[in-house]
Amino acid sequence: MKFIATLLFLIITSSSLIAQNEKPDSNLEVLFSSNVGSFYLPTQFNSRQFPRCIEGCEPAGSAASKSTGVGFEARLKVYKSFHLSSGVSYTRNSYYEQARISAGGPSFITETQRDFHFIDIPFKSHLKLLESTKDQRYSVYFDLGVINHINLNSEYPGASGLVKLKKYGLSGTVSLGIGVSFNKLTIELAPYYRHSLTSFGNDIDPFSDRRLPDDVPYSPNKFSPRNLGVNINFALGL
């Protein structure tokens, strides 16, 4: 809630301080980007000792998880309403894995929180679909692109061993949003969806005849995250 409240304060403050004149045409924009949303991981952690899950119990799904991020981008006008953008951002993803444990009596559910930290390098196309005809103050836009992920915690302690993930990954992203311009500043709000195109795990099926390498005691199978949330951007025309 503090994250959202801070962003709302910036929006209100910026709107009151910047004159609401007709937006000049800018070939280059610098963006402060932020996002908040959900983090979904359709997998569980598999181990050599306990192939059903990392705690040696029965997987029961996952609880509500979250994702937040901030960063900077540069957006270059290529032709009329078509732009290309790239930059760098930091994203923190919190995942709550649930497991059902039964020790001869009534079963119960436990949750294990796992935090994944990414440095993201996006490459996106930005297309303005609609603009208000009078002053071009309001716009509707569409973003499509890919995001290169650098995994900052590729190794971290597990229940009884070291969990290892790959250091790099790739996701596709799509969003549809609206923009409101105040002189050279444009505030953008856009729901987005991200889908991993690669896996951060070693993708070794624990129920097959293949064995995990000796130096990889735990291996996530098909570690391909998905995100659904909202982008809030502040774009300054230069």
Assess if residue 20 is contained within a domain.
Answer: yes
Q: Any idea what the CATH number is for the domain that residue 78 is in?
A: 2.40.160.20
**Comparison of pLDDT for 211 and 67, the residue scoring more:** 67
Of 2-11, 121-130, 219-228, least confident by mean pLDDT is 2-11
Assess if residue 27 is contained within a domain.
Answer: yes
Q: Residue 193: what pLDDT? A: 96
Q: What whole-number distance in Å separates Cα of residue 127 and Cα of residue 28? A: 14
Number of Cβ atoms within 10 Å of the Cβ of 145: 17
Assess if residue 98 is contained within a domain.
Answer: no
Assess if residue 52 is contained within a domain.
Answer: no
Number of Cβ atoms within 10 Å of the Cβ of 220: 23
Q: What whole-number distance in Å separates Cα of residue 16 and Cα of residue 33? A: 20
**Comparison of pLDDT for 198 and 224, the residue scoring more:** 198
Tokens linked to 83: 């732009």
Assess if residue 107 is contained within a domain.
Answer: no
Confidence of residue 176 (pLDDT cuts 50, 70, 90): very high
Mean local confidence (pLDDT), 188-193: 97
Assess if residue 102 is contained within a domain.
Answer: no
Residues in the chain: 238
Q: What whole-number distance in Å separates Cα of residue 79 and Cα of residue 58? A: 54
Long-range interactions of 13-19: CB distance < 8 A, separation 24+: 14/182, 14/185, 14/187, 14/234, 15/182, 15/187, 18/182, 18/183, 18/184, 18/185, 19/182, 19/183
pLDDT in tens, 125-173: 999 999 887 777 899 999 999 999 999 987 765 554 566 788 899 999 9
Q: Which residues pair with 182 in a beta bridge?
A: 185
Assess if residue 106 is contained within a domain.
Answer: no
Structural domain including 30 reads 2-44+68-93+117-237
Number of independent structural domains in the chain? 1
Q: Which residues pair with 46 in a beta bridge?
A: 219
pTM for this structure? 0.74
Of 21-30, 33-42, 128-137, 169-178, least confident by mean pLDDT is 21-30
Yes or no: say if 94 and 68 are a contact pair by the CB < 8 Å rule. no
